């Protein structure tokens, strides 16, 4: 914990910062005093209104009790109620007269406090003070005569002092009707119960209430001021600590910046090396494209001619041995041509040269076309292909007909070639959730080993290629996956070794 001398020395060092803190503190104190002053004013007004209301409620209740328990009872004892007590010594004051006496007593106890009772119908002896003598009285009567349950108040300056004038309706009660209608000199003799007969007003000086509120608030202000001083000292300590921390942080920033600059220099070197590598890759890609173009023109065209000549040779008379040799030539040529076509398709997909045109396609028609093409191969492998499971499927999907046919042809051929003797290939159509449709191709082959299932969609990956003599490049399923993704679909599979595999294709249903 720093000593007082150290604290003072630290405060002197950063005088500009300390002046700013003092200004902020002064603004906070000024704002606090303004808030407290405003609060005192609001509390004083609220307290005055509550006091006035309570006083008039008590005075009204007292007059009611006085009328019912005194004024109505004593006349039967020979004691009359009168407004002039000096002339009638053995009399009691009328309720209104008693209210004026109470007003005088209240004024003696509370400086400036005063009550008034007035109406447009004053008795003759109260014409001067009992009528509507000022604007407040007139406005109060105008409002309260139409709504006896409400109140009316206003803060006014009277003789240089702020005063609360609070008024309520003086309602005619059942115990007062007969007296007011029959009393000598009454200005109105048709009063009914519930009529507003006048206005009962209390005037409270605000200076006394405000002074009392400020006395109560002064202790709070003192506590807040003391707390603010402690907070200011605490802030000075914290800010000073932060200044020292920032200086250390600046040193660390400079240090880290130099280290970062070295790393940037290394990155620039790496970037230059990457540019060189990219240029080399682009050159290699150009070589690959040139090579594939060469394959397209220099190999695929001759292979097509070879297949054409094998078809012509089949028309000639040949021995069985020659026919076997010719079949070997055809199968090898077909395998090589299939490999070339797959490599070209894969390259074009990777380069983004293949485009798909989405349209409404009947997926069952696509499967039927593929089955017609595959049936000769299936007979060779002694595998049956049955699409009767699609009889109830009449679904239209959004796809490219040619590319979708290429996908299903590849899947069905695989299902036939990787099947067992006397095996079968079947189809099933179902919803894939939401707006999708799933078409399954199920075979009864040997299945896929669990350790190979994670690599099934990797390029040039031929599962069981060493144990099964099937032509291919390992690109067929990769091409299917990329084409389906371009059409907004997907492909997946489930396989149990020794039982078979199920490949499924998900596509978006067309409306």
Would you list the DSSP string of 372-438?
A: HHHHHHHHHTT-EEE-GGGTT---EEEE-HHHHHHHHHHHHHHHHHTS-TT-EEEEEEEE-STTEEE
Three-state DSSP state, 218 = helix
Q: Rounded mean pLDDT of 454-466?
A: 70
- Consecutive H or E run containing 282: helix 206-294
Higher-scoring residue by pLDDT: 258, 170: 258
Q: Is the residue at 369 inside a domain?
A: yes
Question: Cα–chain-centroid distance for residue 82?
Answer: 75
- Of 156, 123, 122, the C-alpha closest to 139 is 156
Residue 207 confidence (pLDDT) = 73
Q: Is the residue at 432 inside a domain?
A: yes
Binned at pLDDT 50, 70 and 90, residue 300 comes out as low
Distance CA 486, CA 357 (A): 10
Residue 505 confidence (pLDDT) = 93
Binned at pLDDT 50, 70 and 90, residue 75 comes out as low
* Among 31-45, 116-130, 141-155, 245-259, the least confident range: 31-45
Residue 450 contacts by C-beta under 8 Å, 6 or more apart in sequence?
497
Q: Rounded mean pLDDT of 108-115?
A: 64
Q: Is the residue at 272 inside a domain?
A: no
pLDDT exceeds cutoff 80 at 383: yes
Q: Is the residue at 338 inside a domain?
A: no
Q: Which residue has the tokens 């045109």?
A: 357
- Of 491, 487, 464, the C-alpha closest to 478 is 491
Binned at pLDDT 50, 70 and 90, residue 467 comes out as very low
Task: Pick left, alpha or beta for residue 453 (phi over 0 → left; psi -120 to 50 → alpha; otherwise beta).
Answer: alpha
Three-state DSSP state, 470 = coil
Binned at pLDDT 50, 70 and 90, residue 295 comes out as low
Distance CA 200, CA 167 (A): 6
pLDDT exceeds cutoff 60 at 469: no
Q: Rounded mean pLDDT of 348-368?
A: 83
Structural domain count, the chain: 1
Q: Rounded mean pLDDT of 342-356?
A: 71
Q: Cα 331–334–336 angle (5° rounding)?
A: 110
pLDDT exceeds cutoff 50 at 350: yes
Question: Cα–chain-centroid distance for residue 263?
Answer: 41
Query: What do you get for the CA distance between the two ends of the chain, in Å?
Result: 78
- Computed over every residue of the chain, the mean pLDDT equals 77
Residue 361 confidence (pLDDT) = 92
Structure tokens at 1: 């914990």
The per-residue pLDDT for range 405-434, each reduced to its tens digit, is 989 998 999 899 889 999 999 999 988 777
pLDDT exceeds cutoff 80 at 220: no
Q: Is the residue at 32 inside a domain?
A: no
Domain that holds residue 502: 354-508
Q: Rounded mean pLDDT of 4-33?
A: 64
> pTM of the full predicted structure?
0.42
Cβ–Cβ < 8 Å for 331, 471: yes
Cβ–Cβ < 8 Å for 456, 414: no
Q: Rounded mean pLDDT of 126-151?
A: 81
Residue 490 confidence (pLDDT) = 93
pLDDT exceeds cutoff 50 at 356: yes
Binned at pLDDT 50, 70 and 90, residue 124 comes out as confident
pLDDT exceeds cutoff 50 at 1: no
Cβ–Cβ < 8 Å for 396, 362: yes
pLDDT above 70 coverage of the chain, percent: 69
- On the CB side of 196, CA atoms within 13 Å amount to 21
Distance CA 464, CA 462 (A): 6
Q: Rounded mean pLDDT of 384-403?
A: 87
Q: What is the dihedral of CA 305, 307, 311, 316, to 10 degrees?
A: 80
Q: Is the residue at 38 inside a domain?
A: no
- Of 161, 179, 152, the C-alpha closest to 92 is 179
Q: Using only the alpha carbons of the chain, give its radius of gyration.
A: 54
Classify residue 448 by burial, with Cβ atoms within 10 Å: 0-12, 13-18, 19+.
Answer: buried
Q: Is the residue at 269 inside a domain?
A: no
Q: Residue 366 is part of a domain; what is its CATH number?
A: 3.30.565.10
The per-residue pLDDT for range 157-205, each reduced to its tens digit, is 887 788 888 888 888 877 677 777 777 777 777 788 888 888 888 887 8
Residue 44 confidence (pLDDT) = 72
pLDDT exceeds cutoff 90 at 501: yes
Q: Rounded mean pLDDT of 125-151?
A: 80
User: Of 207-216, 316-325, 477-486, which has the strongest mean pLDDT?
Assistant: 477-486
Question: Cα–chain-centroid distance for residue 73?
Answer: 73
């Amino acid at each position: 914990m720093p000593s007082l001398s150290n604290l003072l020395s630290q405060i002197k060092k950063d005088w500009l910062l300390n002046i700013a803190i003092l200004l902020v503190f002064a603004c906070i104190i000024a704002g606090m005093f303004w808030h407290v002053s405003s609060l005192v004013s609001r509390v004083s007004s609220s307290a005055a209104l509550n006091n006035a209301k309570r006083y008039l409620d008590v005075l009204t209740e007292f007059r009611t009790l006085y009328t019912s328990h005194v004024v109505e009872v004593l006349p039967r004892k020979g004691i009359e109620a009168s407004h002039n007590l000096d002339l009638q010594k053995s009399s009691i004051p009328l309720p209104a007269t008693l209210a004026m006496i109470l007003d005088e007593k209240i004024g003696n106890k509370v400086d400036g406090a005063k009550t008034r009772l007035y109406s447009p119908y004053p008795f003759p002896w109260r014409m001067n003070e009992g009528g509507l003598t000022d604007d407040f009285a007139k406005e109060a009567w105008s409002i309260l005569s139409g709504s006896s349950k409400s109140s009316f108040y206003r803060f006014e300056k009277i003789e240089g002092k702020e005063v609360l004038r609070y008024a309520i309706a003086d309602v005619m009660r059942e115990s007062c009707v007969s007296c007011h209608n029959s009393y000598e000199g009454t200005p109105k003799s048709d009063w009914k119960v519930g009529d507003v007969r006048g206005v009962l007003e209390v005037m409270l000086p605000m200076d006394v209430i405000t002074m009392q509120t400020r006395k109560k608030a002064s202790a709070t202000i003192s506590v807040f001021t003391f707390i603010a001083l402690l907070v200011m000292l605490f802030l000075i300590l914290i800010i000073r600590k932060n200044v020292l921390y920032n200086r250390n942080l600046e040193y660390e920033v400079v240090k880290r910046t130099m280290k970062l600059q070295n790393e940037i220099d290394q990155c620039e070197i790496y970037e230059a090396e990457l540019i060189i590598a990219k240029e080399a890759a682009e050159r290699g890609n150009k070589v690959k494209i040139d090579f594939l173009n060469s394959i397209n023109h220099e190999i695929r065209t001759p292979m097509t001619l070879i297949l054409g000549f094998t078809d012509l040779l089949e028309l000639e008379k040949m021995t069985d041995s020659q026919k076997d040799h010719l079949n070997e030539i055809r199968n090898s040529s077909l395998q090589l041509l299939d490999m070339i076509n797959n490599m070209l398709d894969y390259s074009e997909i990777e380069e983004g040269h293949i485009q798909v045109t989405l349209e409404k396609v009947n997926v069952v028609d696509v499967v039927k076309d593929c089955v017609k093409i595959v049936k000769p191969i299936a007979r060779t492998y002694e595998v049956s292909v049955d699409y009767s499971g699609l009889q109830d499927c009449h679904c239209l999907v959004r796809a490219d007909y040619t590319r979708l046919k290429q996908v299903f042809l590849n899947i069905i051929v695989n299902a036939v070639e990787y099947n067992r003797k006397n095996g079968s290939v079947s189809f099933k159509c179902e919803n894939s959730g939401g707006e999708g449709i799933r078409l399954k191709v199920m075979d009864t082959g040997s299945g896929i080993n669990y350790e190979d299932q994670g690599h099934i969609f990797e390029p040039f990956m031929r599962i069981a290629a060493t144990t099964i003599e099937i032509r291919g490049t390992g690109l067929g399923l990769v091409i299917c996956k990329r084409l389906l993704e371009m059409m907004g679909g997907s492909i997946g599979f489930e396989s149990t070794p020794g039982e078979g595999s199920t490949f499924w294709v998900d596509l978006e249903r067309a409306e």
